[in-house]
Amino acid sequence: MGDLRDLYQEVILEHSKHPRNFRALESANHQAEGFNPLCGDHFTVYVDVENGAIKDIGFQGTGCAISKASASMMTQNLKGKTTAEAEDMFTRFHALVTGKDLKADLGKLAVFAGVSEFPVRVKCASLAWHALHAALQGKQEAVSTE
């Protein structure tokens, strides 16, 4: 198992304490819930999509430091991206946190590489992304990581 500091990096802790875009979006035309029954983490991701691009994005809910920071940094990184780019980023993010591609091109999100050393926390890191994916797909039911 990796070092705790690899998991709880400063930037991750900072985002978990002061999450960005931590709000419900009035203008959202896509939204979905993500739920991790194992630890009770529960987020709703709100997306305002216009002409195939993410105009605005927010989230609300409760979860551990990893899941909250991941949701916060996800929203920060996706504003202005196309939905295709967002889905592509999810794929790379998943490859990163599962350790399949630790060099994935993810910019600031690369701080989540430490998660790959903590297999039970992969679901925490990817929860908001699963919810985003469901929202973009127009799924109605809450997605579960189990």
Q: Which of 64, 95, 110, 142 binds other proteins (CB under 8 A)?
A: 64
Is 40 a binding residue for other proteins by CB under 8 A? The answer is: yes
Q: Which of 29, 62, 91, 137 binds other proteins (CB under 8 A)?
A: 62
Q: Which residue has the tokens 């780019």?
A: 85
Is 63 a binding residue for other proteins by CB under 8 A? The answer is: yes
Residues whose CB falls within 8 Å of the CB of residue 89, separated by 6 or more in sequence, listed in order: 77, 78, 81, 106, 109
Lookup: tokens for 88? 């592509």
Q: Which of 6, 9, 39, 76 binds other proteins (CB under 8 A)?
A: 39
Report how far residue 43's alpha carbon sits from residue 72's, in angstroms, rounded to the nearest whole number. Answer: 11
Interface characters, 110-129, with other proteins (x: CB under 8 A): --------x-xx--x-----
Interface characters, 69-98, with other proteins (x: CB under 8 A): ------------------------------
Q: Which residues does residue 131 pair with via DSSP β-bridges, in sequence order?
A: none
Q: What angle do CA 51, 60, 46 make, to 5 degrees?
A: 15
- Over the Cα atoms of the chain, what is R_g? 14
Is 99 a binding residue for other proteins by CB under 8 A? The answer is: no
Q: Does an H or E element contain 52, and which?
A: none
Site of interaction with other proteins (CB under 8 A): 1, 4-5, 7-8, 13, 17, 37-42, 62-68, 118, 120-121, 124
